[in-house]
Amino acid sequence: MNLDVKYVFPSKLKMLCIALMVVGVITFVAGFLINPDKTWANYLLNNFYFVSLSIGALFFLLIQYIANAGWSAVFKRVPHAMGAYLPIAAVFFILLYFGMHSIYHWTHEGIAETDKIIAWKLPYLNIPFMMIRIVMFFALWILLSRYLKKLTLKEDLQGGTGFFEKSVYYSRVTIFVLALTFPFFVVDMIMSIDVHWFSTLFALKNFIAAFFHGSAIIALIVILLNKVGYFPMLNNSHLHDFSRYMFMLCIVWGYFWFAQFMLIWYGNIPEETAYFVHRWESDWKTLFFVDLFINWFLPFIILMPRKTSRSKPVLIPMIIILIIGQYIDLYLQIMPGTVHENSFGWLEIGTFAGYTGLFAFMVLNALSKMNLYPKNHPYIEESIHHHF
Amino acid sequence: MKNKYLLGVFGDEEHLLDAFEDLKANSYKIEEVYSPYPIHEILTGMGHKTRMTHAAFALGVVAVLGLLGFMYYAAVISWPLIYGGKPFNAFPSFIVVTLVATILIVTLGTLFFFSARAKIFPGKKAEIIHEGATDDKFVIVFNASDIKDNKDELYRLLKRHGVEDIVEK
């Protein structure tokens, strides 16, 4: 099998991505003129959404390295490419500085004097420290994901198992770094919207959500590339393994979602239940259950049988539903605390389209710049002939 | 009938698989294959499909409905008590118990179904078809009535593939 293949980014798809980006920019400009507060909330939502996909894909990659997984070796360039979105995301998150007043209640001048709870949280939640954290987190993620990419690209040229062993070592480092940084990132960016509320499971739940939907996106990219003629080695066993990740993670996601909800529901402490009471009011109630239905129940039932978890016609719509699922999950976590009303409309659709275009452009562009298969990967043969 | 079975005993996986493919190509009816470890080609080649997963799923559904139904009956119908300001049907708090008990019921249930299907029970005397099958040998079992017409051909075929021993019992 010829492994010297490069992905060619078709100019039509490029134009589509750019068109989507233009739609996004226009929506943002219109949004900032009409309703800046709501637009900033959307800005945060989309930024976080696509960072979570990148981080989830990175985590997927790290697990493959650390577990010495053979089956996925040939697809590893896809999560590598998904890391290419991180530098742009870093810039966007630094620009969030200008929107903090609209999103975060605790950044308001003099709020600490009247609000005792915020005053206590001030040593951690203050704008300079928050900006330092954003810069530090993104610097670490970008450095480490770039270094892993560099190692596998060098492996293409020189071969040998040395680069793989080094990748495994740095994957262990990165997994520690992710575990220590991403939860704080989640707390800063999303949990601090509802600044009076806290949940110790919140960060972990979002971490699992990122891993869950990041893995789903990897599978989607691989399947779609397979449809246009790349990844000819993709077989039922690979599909089964991809859907096992989704199946397993939907259960873990549901577990964390439920654990967080149940403890608060059962504890019945007003300062904790306020968060869920707000989301259980008529405006959000439907979405609250749709979130659980889409992210847990549907994949659980649909991906359970062996037949459906090996079928592309099932997996593609399933992943598209999961893409919506992650959006609803974040929408429910961000919008009630910022916009205070469920008003989904052109702003949400336009901005999401813009970010989708940008993300697709960055990922496919990065993918087209390297060899599509890590041809000197020690497990490449095992991966191509994967069968169970 | 005197001889119920004919056994082809092989020393290694490679010879067994060659013989197995050849036997299938010549449409011999194979009763059973014993090997020291599971062999993928044999598992798919024998064409047996397990329905254990369906049994497990059905058990799971029954367990969930039964447990939730029981807890609903106990907490709402039979002995309604208000505790901690919760509604009688404190559904979210039932889920944890349901989850754990369902796992137990499914585990024990599949064990029971499997034992019933394989006709094994505590204290049953083991039926050992060939001493080697419990050790390091690979044994193909034929039903004597299936192969009585072309026994000589079968002998030749097995010998061609390096069978170590042929036993009729």
Residue B82 has a pLDDT of: 86
Dmax (CA) of chain B: 81
| Contact criterion met (CB < 8 Å) for B95 and A268 | no
Taking CB atoms and an 8 Å cutoff, what residues of chain B touch A261?
92
Residue A83 has pLDDT above 80, yes or no: yes
So what's the pLDDT on residue B2?
62
Please indicate if any CB of chain B lies within 8 Å of the CB of A277: no
**Least CB-CB distance to B92: which of A262, A304, A388?**
A262
- Kindly tell me if the per-residue pLDDT of A17 is higher than 90: yes
Residue B123 located in a structural domain:
no
Q: What is the pLDDT of residue B60?
A: 95
Same domain, residue pair B58 and B113: yes
| CB pair distance less than 8 Å for A258 and B93 | no
| A3 contacts: CB under 8 Å, gap ≥ 6 | A371, A373, A375, A380
Contact B138, B161 (CB under 8 A): no
Q: Which of A248, A239, A228 is nearest to A314 (CA)?
A: A239
A276 touches B: beta carbon within 8 Å: no
CA neighbor of B21 nearest in space, from B161, B142, B166, B167: B161
Look up the CATH number of the domain holding residue B142. Answer: 3.30.70
Task: Check if A266 contacts B (Cβ < 8 Å).
Answer: yes
Give the pair of three-digit tokens for residue B70.
């029981």
Which region, left, alpha or beta, applies to residue B129 given φ > 0 means left and ψ of -120 to 50 means alpha?
alpha
Q: Do B93 and A266 touch (CB under 8 A)?
A: yes
Chain A hits for B84, CB-CB cut-off 8 Å, are 266, 268
Q: Return the minimum-mean-pLDDT range out of A52-61, A264-273, B19-28, B146-155.
A: B146-155
Nearest CA in chain A to B41: A388
- Give the pLDDT band (50/70/90) at residue B98: very high
B29 and B65 fall within a common domain: no
| Distance between CA atoms of residues A98 and A19, nearest Å | 26
* Structural domains of chain B, count: 2
Q: Does A288 touch chain B (CB under 8 A)?
A: no
Which one of A236, A251, A256, A258 makes the best mutation probe of the B interface by having the most chain B beta carbons within 10 Å?
A: A258
Give the mutation candidate from A262, A289, A301, A309 for the B interface (greatest B CB count, under 10 A): A262
Mapping DSSP to helix (H, G, I), strand (E, B) and coil, where does residue B133 land? Answer: helix
Q: Where in the sequence is the domain holding B22, given as residue range(s)?
A: 5-49+128-168
Instruction: Tell which residue, A226, A176, A146, A195, has the closest CA to residue A59.
Output: A176
pLDDT at position A364 = 95
Inside any domain, residue B20: yes
The amino acid sitting at B137 is K
Closest CA to A339 of A189, A127, A193, A126: A193
Residues B164, B134 within the same domain: yes
Q: How confident is the model over A342-366, as a mean pLDDT?
A: 94
Percent of chain A whose pLDDT exceeds 70 = 100
3-state secondary structure chain A: CCCCCECCCCHHHHHHHHHHHHHHHHHHHHHHHHCHHHHHHHHHHHHHHHHHHHHHHHHHHHHHHHCCCCCCHHHCHHHHHHHHHHHHHHHHHHHHHHHHHHHCHHHCCCHHHHCHHHHHHCCCCCHHHHHHHHHHHHHHHHHHHHHHHHHHHHHHHHCCCHHHHHHHHHHHHHHHHHHHHHHHHHHHHCHHHCCCCCCCCHHHHHHHHHHHHHHHHHHHHHHHHHHCCCCCCCCHHHHHHHHHHHHHHHHHHHHHHHHHHHHHHHHCCHHHHHHHHHHHCHHHHHHHHHHHHHHHHHHHHHCCCCCHHHCHHHHHHHHHHHHHHHHHHHHHHHHHHHCCCCCCCHHHHHHHHHHHHHHHHHHHHHHHCCECCCCCCCCHHHHHCCCC
Residue B1: is its pLDDT beyond 60?
Answer: no
User: Helix B151-160 and helix B13-25: axis angle, to 10°?
Assistant: 140
DSSP state letters, B64-121: HHHHHHHHHIIIIIIS----TT--SS-HHHHHHHHHHHHHHHHHHHHHHHHHHHTT--
Query: Average pLDDT for residues A259-276, to the nearest whole number?
Result: 90
Predicted local confidence at residue A23, as pLDDT: 96
A268 beta partners: none
pTM score: 0.89
pLDDT-derived band at A46, boundaries 50, 70, 90: very high
Nearest CA in chain A to B87: A266
Q: Do B95 and A258 touch (CB under 8 A)?
A: yes
Count of A-B CB contacts under 8 Å: 18
Query: What would the pLDDT profile of B36-94 be if each residue is shown by its tens digit?
Result: 988 888 888 888 778 888 999 999 999 999 999 999 999 999 999 888 788 898 888 89
Residue A168 φ/ψ, nearest 5 degrees: -60, -45
Beta bridge partners of B123: none
Residue A342 has pLDDT above 90, yes or no: no
Bridge partners (DSSP) of residue B168 are B6
Q: Are residues B14 and B41 in the same domain?
A: yes
Mean pLDDT of chain B: 88
Residue with tokens 């951690």: A124
Q: Over the stretch A114-124, which tens digit does the pLDDT of each residue have?
A: 888 888 888 89
Q: Is A265's CB within 8 Å of B92's CB?
A: yes
**Residues B56 and B112 placed together within one structural domain of the fold:** yes
Are the C-beta atoms of residues B137 and B164 closer than 8 Å to each other? yes
**Which conformational region is residue A9 in: left (phi greater than 0), alpha (psi within -120 to 50 degrees), or beta?**
beta
Taking only the tens place, the pLDDT of each residue in A144-155 is: 999 999 999 999
> Which positions in chain B have a beta carbon within 8 angstroms of at least one beta carbon in chain A?
40, 57, 84-86, 92-93, 95-96
Classify B79 in phi/psi space as left (phi over 0), alpha (psi -120 to 50) or beta.
Answer: beta
Measured CA to CA, the distance from residue A324 to residue A387 in angstroms comes to 31
Distance from CA of A274 to the nearest CA of B (A): 16
Residue B153: the pLDDT is 85
Per-residue pLDDT for B115 more than 80?
Answer: yes
pLDDT bucket at B25, cuts 50 / 70 / 90: confident
Distance from the B126 Cα atom to the nearest Cα atom in chain A, whole angstroms: 31
- CA-based R_g, chain B, Å: 25
Residues B58 and B109 in one domain: yes
Whether the CA torsion A144, A150, A154, A159 is positive or negative: it is positive
* Residues of chain B found within 8 Å of residue A388, distances taken between Cβ atoms: 40
Question: Do both B134 and B113 map to the same domain?
Answer: no
pLDDT of res. A242? 95
Q: What residue of A is the nearest CA neighbor of B92?
A: A262
Mean of all residue pLDDT scores within chain A: 93
Residue A124, chain B, CB below 8 Å: the answer is no
Do B33 and B64 have their domain in common? no
Which chain B residue's Cα is nearest to A257? B92
Residue B6 has pLDDT above 70, yes or no: yes
Question: What ipTM score was computed for the predicted complex, to two decimals?
Answer: 0.76
B66 & B44 share domain: no
